[in-house]
Structure 1
Amino acid sequence: MLTHLTLINFALADHLALDIEQGFNVLTGETGAGKSLLLDALSASLGERTDTNYVRYGAEKADISATFSYKNYSPEAEWLKEHELDDESEEIHLRRVIFATGRSKAWINGRPSSLSELKELGRLLVQLYSQHSQQQLLEPPYPKHWLDRYSNFYAPAQEVKTAYSVWQSTIRQHQAALDAQATRQQRIAALELQLEELEDIVQIDYKDIEQEFDRLSHHEHIMQDCAYSLNLLDEAEPNITQELSSLLRRIESHAGRSEQLSEIYNSLVNAQSEIEDATSNLRQFMDRQSFDPARMEELNSTLESFHRLARKYRTQPEQLKQDYAEWQAELDQLHQLEDPETLAEQVDLAHQQFLEKAKYLDQIRREAALPLAKQLTEQVKPLALPEAHFEFKFEPLEQPNAEGLSFIQLLFTANKGIPPQPLARVASGGELSRIALVMQVMNAEKTESEVLVFDEIDVGISGGTAEVVGRLLADLAQHVQLLCITHQAQVAAQSDQHLLVKKQQTDPASSTIVKLDEEQRIFELARMSGGVEINETTLQHAKQLRRLKFQHS
């Protein structure tokens, strides 16, 4: 969970350090106070896109740090272990610095990290739900995606996508075989001639014979230079070996008198050993060398063949072996494509495998749809929709696709006796916001993230409905940590920790976030309920909202 957040020169925050508690945390404040400050900073620390507006006016950079605790064997623990970023503290320290120039830097547990790594880890730590999420309900794929996510059908859905891709690939290969039927035989004949011509020569390594030919061509000079070198090293009077031995004796007599001379002596001993090895190897090399005119002629002939074929096929001699392999692979593929019937069988097999997986996915989706629609109905009814009813409608697709066999719609009615219709067609804006809220909470119940952020998702509700939403979130906070920006006193009253965002008229202006005690919470709830003027009536109403919280608990 999120335990601490520090903001330095971030937007309206000068220097702000905040401890976040487990459970249900709400942020409230007057319009323009900067309620999104904490969530913007949290998003930045998780690698989301930023801009220079986040840098406080007059500052060179903004600095955000977030600390999370985590459990062993959690997804984030496995991620840290995989990236060698775990430590004994069992905490995750994220830091992001945003410069006024537009650049930014990031760290995970003190190690510089890329934004992609920060995002990857961030998705495991935090899930964000915003007030704009209700627009997703109007998108045709949303019901299917929501059903799959809630029911954890990701794996079978991915298998269907993979099987569909394989099926389509075999279709394209089969069509290519049919289209290329006329020219294939000509290409096969040409490739077979080319391969036959190169078959023998590609067994020979061009660079090896080129080097051997070069050595034989310079045999006399090589032997002359080797003989001169061997004479100088070991046979002349005096020679290098003798001179070096004499030198060593002289230095050895003084090596004990100077550490530097001792090091020089050791270096010379090593040099003597190296020279002796080189002399021995040089003598062996000369003993093994012989000039073979027949071998030289053979090599010359082979090299001429390489160059002739390289000119013919417009390539380099050393490239012929790779060209041979590529032509052989092309010929093998053409022989496979030569039989469209074999490919047709592969198409049928891939199609059957896709249908098998798609039918299974369709079946489990249909089985999960009925209880899920019933659960959604029961969750939505308390939100001033007593006659709400949901159904999933499966319509077979004319052509199956990577998503499956059916187009899935979510049907809704808010009125008794009225048949359910597609949600986007019949739901009002207020109904959509309440439905979206419940669907998000249901999704949140299934997430592995320990921190859920709700950004004004209760817009469009009020009164008793807002109270029910508050209880819904409070129940959810029994299992995960919640951060919620809200304008609803009924929602804020259900929270475990109440954070107030206040704007201060400094120069330049700044915002701060303070944790409210119980008395301060009553005044803030009264302000949210009654506006600017706080009187005994609004205070009593605020106290009643808090009593409802404890009664519900």
Structure 2
Amino acid sequence: MLTHLNLINFALADNLAIDIEQGFNVLTGETGAGKSLLLDALSACLGERTDTNYVRYGSDKADVTAVFSYQEHSPEAEWLKTHELDDESGEIHLRRVIFATGRSKAWINGRPSSLSELKELGRLLVQLYSQHSQQQLLEPPYPKHWLDRYSNFGAHTQAVKDSYTTWQSHIRQHQAALDAQATRLQKIDSLTLQLEELEDVVQVDYKEIEQEFDRLSHHEHIMLDCGYAVNALDEAEQNINQEISAIIRRLESHAGRSEQLSEIYNSLVNAQSELDDASANLKQFIDRQSFDPERMEELNGQLEIFHRLGRKYRAQPEDLKQLFEDWQAELEQLNQLEDPETLAEQVQQSHQVFLEKAQHLDEIRREAAEPLAKKLTEQVKQLALPEAYFEFKFEPLEQPSAEGFSFIQLLFTANKGIPAQPLGRVASGGELSRIALVMQVMNAEKTEAEVLVFDEIDVGISGGTAEIVGRLLAGLGQHVQILCITHQAQVAAQSDQHLLVKKLQTDPASSTIFALEEDGRIDELARMTGGVEISETTLQHAKQLRQLKFQSVNSGS
């Protein structure tokens, strides 16, 4: 549940803190007051796209934070645990900073996070419905998706998609085997010859023989220089080891008189030890070296083979071993390639699995469609459409697809005796908005999100219809938290918390949002019904709207 929002230099908000209650919350205010302020800030915290318009004029950045509470074993709790973001406080803090330059940064529980993480977590916390959602009703896939979502068919639809993907993959493998059959044996012979040519060569490490050849090529110079080094270090009349020993003896008696001299003395002792080791290793290296013309000739021949094969196969000599391994893998794959007949059986089996799963999905969809259409009819009838009627129509597809066997349409009629037809063809704009509203509320009953946001979805309705919508949302608010921007007093009157957006005459202009007490709610409802001038009549009407809310609560409806 959303418990708190804090907006700093966000759009028209200077420094605004809002506490949100459980249940049904409405947000109202005059046109231009900034009613979208709260939802824009919440969307920013949920990882939605932002722009520089969200940064308050004269500021270099906007800073918004949304705080949610959550239950121990909820989906969001598991998400936080998986991402090592769980907090002992039992809260989720989502923060977004938007800079005037266009950049933004995000944090989850104090840790820097990506926008994709914000969105992923946000989908578990909040579900948003807008006034434009009615356009979705006119999209061909919507009735099927709505039926599946309401009926919790997600696992079944995914199983059909997966089995369809497997079937199509097997078809491609079978076709590839048919295409490859003609050239397969020829390719195997070619790879076998190439591997035979490289088999002995790659047993030798190119880098090692190259280094050994280089050492033999420079044998004389190496021996001269190493001999000079041994002589200078240890065998000359005035060698380095003797000089260092003399220096150490001179400093030894003074080392205890100065910490710095002591460090220098120790460094020289260590250096002498290192030089002794180096001198001994040099002598050992010289003793072990010998020039072998035959070995040098052998190495030269091996290097020539490496370079010749590298030119032949257009590869660097040191890369021939990797090329050999790649050819081995390719040959193994060709040898293991199943013949087309075996793959044809696989295609048939996966096709049968797909048909079985798609058939089952089609059956449970048809079974769920009639009671769902009946429930939708009953709900929509309350919104001044007493003769409304819905039914789902299943039309077989020419070819089954990842979506199943049938194209599903939602048919509707608003008039008794008139056959139901596709919704987009016969429903008016006002009817569409009311139908969309009911479908959204029905969907909301099935969502896992604990916060539902309705952005002016009651546009186009009024009077008794708006009152029924308010009751629907109030009933839904008994199970989840609802935020609703509305222009309808009948809807606002049914709320548990009423938030008012008000524009302040500051420079630059700013807006504030605060919760109304009962008297303030009456005044705001009167303004919504009667306009600028609030009369005794509009006040009485506002009080009556609130009494209807209390009566419905007391009656348990």
1:365-396 deviation line (CA, Å, top 9, x unaligned): 33433443343333333223344333333332
Relative to structure 1, the CA distance from residue 539 to residue 310 in structure 2 (aligned partners, 3 Å threshold; closer, same or farther) is same
Q: Is 1:63 paired with 2:99?
A: no
Residue 302 of structure 1 corresponds to 302
Please say which of residues 202-211 and 74-83 is displaced more in the overlay.
74-83
What is the CA–CA distance in structure 2 between the aligned matches of 1:152 and 1:267, rounded to whole Å? 77
Residue 330 of structure 1 corresponds to 330
Query: Residues 337 and 343 of structure 1 are in contact (CA less than 8 Å); yes or no, is this contact kept in structure 2?
Result: no
1:330-373 deviation line (CA, Å, top 9, x unaligned): 34444555832233233223323333333343344334334433
Relative to structure 1, the CA distance from residue 220 to residue 488 in structure 2 (aligned partners, 3 Å threshold; closer, same or farther) is same
Three-state SS of the structure 1 residue aligned to 2:72 is: coil
Please say which of residues 141-150 and 184-193 is displaced more in the overlay.
184-193
Please say which of residues 212-221 and 531-540 is displaced more in the overlay.
212-221
Relative to structure 1, the CA distance from residue 62 to residue 195 in structure 2 (aligned partners, 3 Å threshold; closer, same or farther) is same
Three-state SS of the structure 1 residue aligned to 2:445 is: helix
What is the CA–CA distance in structure 2 between the aligned matches of 1:296 and 1:141, rounded to whole Å? 76
Residue 200 of structure 1 corresponds to 200
Residue 495 of structure 2 corresponds to 495
What is the CA–CA distance in structure 2 between the aligned matches of 1:58 and 1:186, rounded to whole Å? 74
Q: Is 1:398 paired with 2:364?
A: no
What is the CA–CA distance in structure 1 between the aligned matches of 2:64 and 2:452, rounded to whole Å? 19
Residue 96 of structure 1 corresponds to 96
Moved over 6 A (4+): none
Relative to structure 1, the CA distance from residue 432 to residue 248 in structure 2 (aligned partners, 3 Å threshold; closer, same or farther) is farther
What is the CA–CA distance in structure 2 between the aligned matches of 1:6 and 1:252, rounded to whole Å? 71
Relative to structure 1, the CA distance from residue 317 to residue 520 in structure 2 (aligned partners, 3 Å threshold; closer, same or farther) is same
Three-state SS of the structure 2 residue aligned to 1:167 is: helix
What is the CA–CA distance in structure 1 between the aligned matches of 2:261 and 2:284, rounded to whole Å? 35
Please say which of residues 29-38 and 241-250 is displaced more in the overlay.
241-250
1:404-449 deviation line (CA, Å, top 9, x unaligned): 2222222333344544332222322222222211221222222222
Query: Residues 184 and 338 of structure 1 are in contact (CA less than 8 Å); yes or no, is this contact kept in structure 2?
Result: no
What is the CA–CA distance in structure 1 between the aligned matches of 2:253 and 2:364, rounded to whole Å? 91
Residue 347 of structure 2 corresponds to 347
Query: Residues 255 and 262 of structure 1 are in contact (CA less than 8 Å); yes or no, is this contact kept in structure 2?
Result: yes
Please say which of residues 44-53 and 266-275 is displaced more in the overlay.
266-275
What is the CA–CA distance in structure 2 between the aligned matches of 1:382 and 1:40, rounded to whole Å? 32
1:308-336 deviation line (CA, Å, top 9, x unaligned): 11111222111222222333333444455
Residue 528 of structure 1 corresponds to 528
Where does structure 1 lack aligned partners over 5 or more consecutive residues? none
Residue 130 of structure 2 corresponds to 130
Residue 148 of structure 1 corresponds to 148
Query: Residues 526 and 542 of structure 1 are in contact (CA less than 8 Å); yes or no, is this contact kept in structure 2?
Result: yes
Residue 408 of structure 1 corresponds to 408
Relative to structure 1, the CA distance from residue 321 to residue 535 in structure 2 (aligned partners, 3 Å threshold; closer, same or farther) is same
Relative to structure 1, the CA distance from residue 58 to residue 275 in structure 2 (aligned partners, 3 Å threshold; closer, same or farther) is same
Identity %: 83
Please say which of residues 481-490 and 387-396 is displaced more in the overlay.
387-396
1:266-304 deviation line (CA, Å, top 9, x unaligned): 545554554455455545544554444433332222211
What is the CA–CA distance in structure 1 between the aligned matches of 2:462 and 2:443, rounded to whole Å? 23
Q: Is 1:117 paired with 2:117?
A: yes
Residue 46 of structure 1 corresponds to 46
CA RMSD for the aligned pairs?
A: 2.8
Relative to structure 1, the CA distance from residue 368 to residue 284 in structure 2 (aligned partners, 3 Å threshold; closer, same or farther) is farther
Relative to structure 1, the CA distance from residue 452 to residue 262 in structure 2 (aligned partners, 3 Å threshold; closer, same or farther) is farther
State the AA in 1 paired with 2:210. E
Cα deviation, residue 490, structure 1:
1.2
What is the CA–CA distance in structure 2 between the aligned matches of 1:131 and 1:429, rounded to whole Å? 12
Cα deviation, residue 221, structure 1:
3.3
Cα deviation, residue 118, structure 1:
2.5
Q: Is 1:316 paired with 2:319?
A: no
What is the CA–CA distance in structure 1 between the aligned matches of 2:230 and 2:378, rounded to whole Å? 99
What is the CA–CA distance in structure 2 between the aligned matches of 1:233 and 1:312, rounded to whole Å? 50
Cα deviation, residue 15, structure 1:
2.6
**Structure 2 counterparts to residues 207-226 of structure 1, below 5 A:** 207-226=207-226
What is the CA–CA distance in structure 2 between the aligned matches of 1:481 and 1:22, rounded to whole Å? 5
Cα deviation, residue 157, structure 1:
2.4
Residue 164 of structure 2 corresponds to 164
Relative to structure 1, the CA distance from residue 451 to residue 249 in structure 2 (aligned partners, 3 Å threshold; closer, same or farther) is farther
User: How many residue pairs are counted as aligned between the two chains?
Assistant: 553
Please say which of residues 248-257 and 116-125 is displaced more in the overlay.
248-257
Q: Is 1:479 paired with 2:479?
A: yes
What is the CA–CA distance in structure 2 between the aligned matches of 1:257 and 1:78, rounded to whole Å? 66
TM-score of the two chains, using structure 1 as the length reference? 0.90
Q: Is 1:511 paired with 2:495?
A: no
Cα deviation, residue 462, structure 1:
1.7
Three-state SS of the structure 2 residue aligned to 1:446 is: coil
State the AA in 2 paired with 1:119. K
State the AA in 2 paired with 1:195. L
Cα deviation, residue 403, structure 1:
1.8
Query: Residues 130 and 457 of structure 1 are in contact (CA less than 8 Å); yes or no, is this contact kept in structure 2?
Result: yes
Relative to structure 1, the CA distance from residue 56 to residue 225 in structure 2 (aligned partners, 3 Å threshold; closer, same or farther) is same
State the AA in 2 paired with 1:438. V
Relative to structure 1, the CA distance from residue 312 to residue 508 in structure 2 (aligned partners, 3 Å threshold; closer, same or farther) is same
